[in-house]
Amino acid sequence: MRSSSVFLASALFLIPCNAVLFAAALPKIDLPPDSPVVLLSADYGESNETARGSAMLLDVHAALSFRNSSQRKIRGITLLVTAQDVTPGGKASVTVPSLDVGPEETFPVRIDLRLLRPLQASSGVPVQISLDGVLFDDLSFYGPDKLSSRRTLTLSEWEARRDRRYFKSVLAAGGQEKLRQEMLESLTHQADRPSLDVEVVRGARATNFEPEKQVQFAFLSLPDSPIEPMGGMARIAGNEARAPRLEVKNRSDRAIRYLEVGWILHDRSGREFLAGSVPAELNLAPGKKSQILGDATLKFPQLSGQPLGIEGMTGFVSSVEFADGTMWIPTRNDLDAPQLQRVVAPSGEEQRLAQIYRKKGMKALVAELNKF
C-alpha cells in the first residue's frame, strides 16, 4: 500500500515536470515591434518529444495565425526557423507566397518541424521563429531579408501574375470548357513528373565507385532570355554531379545582378529530370560575360525507385533579376518547349489554381481568377 502511494506520488510529480519540459521545447516566436503582421494564436496540437536512443526527437506541429496590421495587401511572407543547438551549420524557412490578405485580415501559416538533438543539448528554447520578410501587392518589401526572401517572394509573385494572366486569357478566349482542359492537363502534368530525392553535400567530394568524367552542358535556347549561355561543364560520377562551371553573356541593355540556370540531367535509360539550379549573384553589365561556379555535390539516390546513372546535361535560364529590381522569367510559350514541359513543375500558383478546381469546381476557380 505504502509503495503504491509512493509510485502514484512520483507519477503525479513527473507528469507536470514533463509538461514543463515540453513547454520549454516549443518554439519561441519573435516578431519586431514594427512588424506588419501580428501573431494572433499558436496551436501546437499534436506536438511531442520522445527519446530515440541517445537523442531526443522533437516533433512540432504548429498552426500559427497572423493578422495583417499594415495598410497594404500582403502577397507573401517568409518565416526564418533557427535551431542553433540542433544544427549549428544550418537553418530553415517557411515561405507562403500567393497570398491575398488585406489590412486587418487574418491568414494561417502551418509549420511541421522535426528536430533530432542529443540528450545533453542545452535546456533553452530549441527553436526560434522570426520574420524574414513580407511582400506587399505593390512589390514593396519589409524585413531583414537574411534569406533573400525578397527575391523568392517577388519571383513567385511574377510567376503568379503570369499564370493568372494566362488562365484569364484562356477563359476569355475559350470559355470554361477550355479552362477545364487546361486544369486537367496541369493536374496530369503534376502527377506525371518523376519524383526525385536529392542530397546536397558541401564541398566537392565524390564518393562513387565509378570514375569521374567531365560532361559538357547543352543549352535550351529561350528567345527572350536576357542571358545567353556560352558554354559549361560539370563533373559526373555515377549518380553524383558536382562543380558545375558555366559561362554566360548579358545580351540585354540593362545590368543584371542575379540569375539562375536550371539544370536538367539525363540518365542512361534516357530519362530526364530537373536536378536543381545554379544561381549566381553578380554585376553583369550589358554585353559582358561572366563565369558561374558551383562547389557543392548533388547526389541522386534513385529516380522513381530505380538507380540513376547520369549521362548528359542540359541547362536553361530560369530567372534573371536586373539591377533595378525588375525580373525576367520564362514565358508560358518558353515553358511549352517539350523538354521543359517534361521536367519543370507548374508554378506554385498554377498548382494552387488546379487544386481549387479539383476540390471546389469551375465556379470557385473562375471566382478566384476574377479576384485579381
Partner 1 sequence: MSLHPVPAQIALFAGGDLGRWEQWRIGRHIARCSACSHEVEALRDASSQLRELTAQMPELPNGLNWNRLSDEMTGNIRVGLAAGEAIALFDKPLRARSPLHWPNMNWNAALLVLGATVIFGVAFWTSLPPQQAEHLVNVFERIRAERIGTLVHSAPGVVGQTAPASTREDVILEASSSSIQVRENGRAMSLMPHSDGATVSVSMPGSAGVSFVDADTGQVTINKVYYAEQ
Site for partner 1 in 287-306 (CB under 8 A): 294-296, 298
Q: Is 115 exposed, middle or buried (0-12, 13-18, 19+ CB in 10 A)?
A: buried
Among 141, 161, 25, 146, CA closest to 85: 25
Rounded CA separation 270/341 (Å): 16
Closer Cβ to partner 1, 131 or 237, answer by number: 237
Least distance (Å) between residue 134 CB and partner 1: 15
Rounded CA separation 66/40 (Å): 5
Q: Which of 62, 74, 134, 147 binds partner 1 (CB under 8 A)?
A: 147
Q: Which of 16, 45, 88, 223 binds partner 1 (CB under 8 A)?
A: 88
Least distance (Å) between residue 368 CB and partner 1: 10
Q: x-or-dash pattern for partner 1, window 302-341, by CB under 8 A?
A: ----------------------------------------
Of 10-18, 29-37, 201-209, 282-290, which part binds partner 1 (CB under 8 A)? 201-209
User: By CB under 8 A, what part of segment 110-129 binds partner 1?
Assistant: 110-118
Q: Is 193 in the site for partner 1 (CB under 8 A)?
A: yes
Q: Which residues does 3 contact at the CB level (< 8 Å), separation at least 6?
A: none
Q: Is 83 exposed, middle or buried (0-12, 13-18, 19+ CB in 10 A)?
A: buried
Least distance (Å) between residue 24 CB and partner 1: 18
Q: Which residues does 341 contact at the CB level (< 8 Å), separation at least 6?
A: 189, 335
* Residues paired with 312 in a beta bridge: 266
Among 95, 91, 82, CA closest to 29: 82
Closer Cβ to partner 1, 217 or 263, answer by number: 263
Q: Is 190 in the site for partner 1 (CB under 8 A)?
A: yes
Distances (CA, A) of 344 to 48, 191, 194, 215, 330: 37, 12, 10, 22, 11
Q: Is 93 in the site for partner 1 (CB under 8 A)?
A: yes
Q: Which of 143, 226, 229, 244 binds partner 1 (CB under 8 A)?
A: 244
Q: Is 161 in the site for partner 1 (CB under 8 A)?
A: no
User: By CB under 8 A, what part of segment 46-65 binds partner 1?
Assistant: 52-53, 55
Q: Is 95 in the site for partner 1 (CB under 8 A)?
A: yes
Least distance (Å) between residue 311 CB and partner 1: 16
Rounded CA separation 318/227 (Å): 10
Count the site residues for partner 1 by CB under 8 A. Answer: 80
* Residue type at position 232: G
Asked if 234 contacts 243 with a C-beta cutoff of 8 angstroms, the reply is yes
Asked if 246 contacts 215 with a C-beta cutoff of 8 angstroms, the reply is no
Q: Which of 42, 196, 255, 369 binds partner 1 (CB under 8 A)?
A: 196
Q: Is 356 in the site for partner 1 (CB under 8 A)?
A: yes
